[in-house]
């Protein structure tokens, strides 16, 4: 009975994480479309939510990686996964509150790994899976996006060099409707699958699903798709300023190149089951499309701050995940710990929201 209560809490928490993931990452997905005036903020966010929802249905490779290649599902309990989720959500909220771009994906993996280490030690951590399917692709993907963004903008400028700027700007703004949609689709497919993977992991840990023969129940896919889409629609306007204009000042061709590079990398990686940080990939594309025109156009100082925030994500989320598990274990193995921690986390989250609202609405436009 206690196990089922905890499982319900885990599923609810995973969906909250999915919501915060969409909420947090909206800015990354729509910033380029908004900053080049290809789309109004409202349309961009609405479109991103729609494509996030659709994207969740097109692949399950990333979910399989999360459920089987990060930690040993047979060695952990739903409470451990819950603690990991608390670590991820807390880090997402902290970085949102301070306006720092971060990686929801790395926060999730960091949180879960931290909680697992606190609960059963390093023996249940799939080190090879984390290294081969998470860490190395995490380093490679933004670099590839940077290179594609740079090549793409050089080609685009060469082809359109002799044209008047008006039609070129209008053309690439139209193109950005497609590339922005693809980027949102890519974001939906990679990020929603992480939640699907975590819920599936909890179902396996609780004995509701067999540990062999990977399968995601349809309700998990629909719930994950809905949560990320709702989170995206609710939006994280505050970070738009950082991603959209503080890295480089973009024109529509650069916006198109950056979005195309990001979408191509995320979709291809999703196909091969690599759970990427969509934030890092998009930032790589944005910087590449700036550097392809003029290296000095990229505000590397801001990019450096963002990179520093990325390096903090895994250890910080892991530390919070571990602390969350330690806290729940004070109350024994039953549902009391997760229930008490949930109440405290909700109170803390509401306090942060209230403070943010009192300090003024996040940035509505760029």
Partner 1 sequence: MSLGTFIHVLPGSVVDTEALLDSVLASLVAGVFVTVTASVAIFGFATAAEMQRNGRDLAAIGAGVLAAVATLAFAGAIVLGIAVMIHG
Q: Applying CB under 8 A, which part among 88-96, 100-108, 174-182, 201-209 lies near partner 1?
A: 174-182
Question: What burial class does residue 187 get, using C-beta atoms within 10 Å of its C-beta: 0-12 exposed, 13-18 middle, 19+ buried?
Answer: buried
List, in sequence order, every beta strand (DSSP E) within the chain: none
Q: Applying CB under 8 A, which part among 154-162, 232-240, 334-342, 349-357 lies near partner 1?
A: 154-162
How far is 109 from 232, CA to CA, in rounded Å? Answer: 21
Q: Applying CB under 8 A, which part among 13-21, 39-47, 159-167, 343-351 lies near partner 1?
A: 159-167
CA distances from residue 15 to 190, 206, 216 in whole angstroms, order as listed = 15, 17, 15
| DSSP state, residue 36 | T
| Residue 248 Rama label (left phi>0; alpha psi -120 to 50; beta) | beta
Out of 26, 179, 193, 277, point to the residue binding partner 1 (CB under 8 A): 179
**Closer CB to partner 1, residue 203 or residue 267?**
267
**Closer CB to partner 1, residue 197 or residue 337?**
197
Q: Tell whether residue 273 is a contact of partner 1 (CB under 8 A).
A: yes
Tell which positions 111-130 bind partner 1, by CB under 8 A. Answer: 122-123, 125-129
Q: Which residues contact 289 (CB under 8 A, 6 or more apart)?
A: 149, 150, 152, 153, 248, 250, 254, 255, 257, 258, 261
Q: What is the DSSP string of 40-100?
A: -HHHHHHHHHHHHHHHTTS--HHHHHHHHSSB-GGG--HHHHHHHHHHHHHHHHHHHHTT-
Torsion of CA 59, 93, 81, 314, to 10 degrees: 80
Q: Tell whether residue 257 is a contact of partner 1 (CB under 8 A).
A: yes
Minimum gap (Å) between residue 334 Cβ and partner 1? 30
- Tokens (6 digits) for 341: 């921690």
3-state SS class at 38: coil
Tell which positions 48-67 bind partner 1, by CB under 8 A. Answer: 58-59, 61
Q: Tell whether residue 260 is a contact of partner 1 (CB under 8 A).
A: yes
Minimum gap (Å) between residue 238 Cβ and partner 1? 29
Tell which positions 72-111 bind partner 1, by CB under 8 A. Answer: none
Minimum gap (Å) between residue 39 Cβ and partner 1? 16
Total of residues contacting partner 1 (CB under 8 A): 55
Q: Tell whether residue 148 is a contact of partner 1 (CB under 8 A).
A: yes
**Closer CB to partner 1, residue 10 or residue 145?**
145
Out of 9, 34, 264, 306, point to the residue binding partner 1 (CB under 8 A): 264
Q: Tell whether residue 42 is a contact of partner 1 (CB under 8 A).
A: no
CA angle, corner 298, sides to 297 and 304, nearest 5? 155
Q: Tell whether residue 71 is a contact of partner 1 (CB under 8 A).
A: no
- Tokens (6 digits) for 114: 């931290």
Please report, as ranges, the residues that interact with partner 1 according to CB under 8 A.
58-59, 61, 122-123, 125-129, 131-133, 136-137, 140, 144-145, 147-149, 151-153, 155-156, 159-160, 163-164, 167-168, 171-172, 175, 178-179, 182, 185, 189, 256-257, 260-261, 263-265, 267-274
């Amino acid at each position: 009975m206690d196990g089922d209560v905890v499982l319900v809490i885990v599923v609810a928490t995973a969906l909250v994480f999915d919501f915060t993931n969409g909420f947090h990452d909206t800015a990354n997905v729509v910033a380029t479309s908004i900053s080049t005036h290809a789309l109004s903020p409202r349309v961009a966010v609405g479109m991103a939510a729609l494509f996030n929802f659709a994207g969740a249905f097109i692949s399950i490779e990333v979910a399989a990686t999360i459920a089987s290649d990060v930690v040993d599902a047979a060695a952990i309990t739903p409470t451990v996964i819950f603690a990991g989720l608390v670590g991820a959500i807390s880090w997402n909220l902290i970085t949102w509150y301070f306006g720092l771009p971060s990686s929801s994906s790395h926060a999730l993996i960091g949180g879960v790994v931290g909680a697992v280490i606190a609960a059963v030690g390093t023996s249940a951590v799939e080190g090879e899976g984390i290294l081969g399917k998470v860490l190395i692709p995490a380093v490679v993907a933004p670099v590839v996006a940077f290179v594609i963004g740079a090549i793409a903008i050089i080609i685009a400028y060469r082809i359109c060099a002799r044209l008047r700027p008006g039609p070129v700007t209008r053309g690439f703004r139209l193109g950005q409707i497609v590339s922005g949609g693809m980027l949102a689709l890519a974001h939906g497919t990679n990020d929603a699958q992480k939640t699907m993977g975590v819920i599936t992991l909890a179902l396996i840990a609780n004995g509701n699903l067999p540990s062999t023969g990977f399968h995601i129940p349809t309700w998990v896919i629909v719930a994950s798709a809905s949560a990320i889409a709702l989170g995206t629609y609710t939006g994280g306007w505050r970070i738009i300023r950082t991603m959209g204009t503080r890295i480089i000042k973009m024109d529509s061709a650069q916006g198109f190149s950056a979005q195309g590079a990001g979408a191509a990398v995320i979709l291809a990686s999703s196909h091969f089951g690599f759970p990427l940080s969509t934030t890092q990939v998009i930032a790589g594309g944005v910087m590449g499309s700036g550097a392809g025109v003029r290296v000095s156009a990229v505000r590397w100082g801001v990019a450096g701050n963002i990179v520093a925030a990325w390096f903090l994500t895994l250890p910080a989320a892991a530390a919070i995940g571990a602390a969350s598990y330690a806290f729940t274990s004070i109350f024994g193995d039953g549902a009391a710990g997760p229930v008490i921690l949930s109440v405290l986390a909700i109170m803390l989250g509401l306090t942060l929201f209230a403070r943010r609202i009192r300090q003024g609405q996040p940035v509505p436009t760029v």
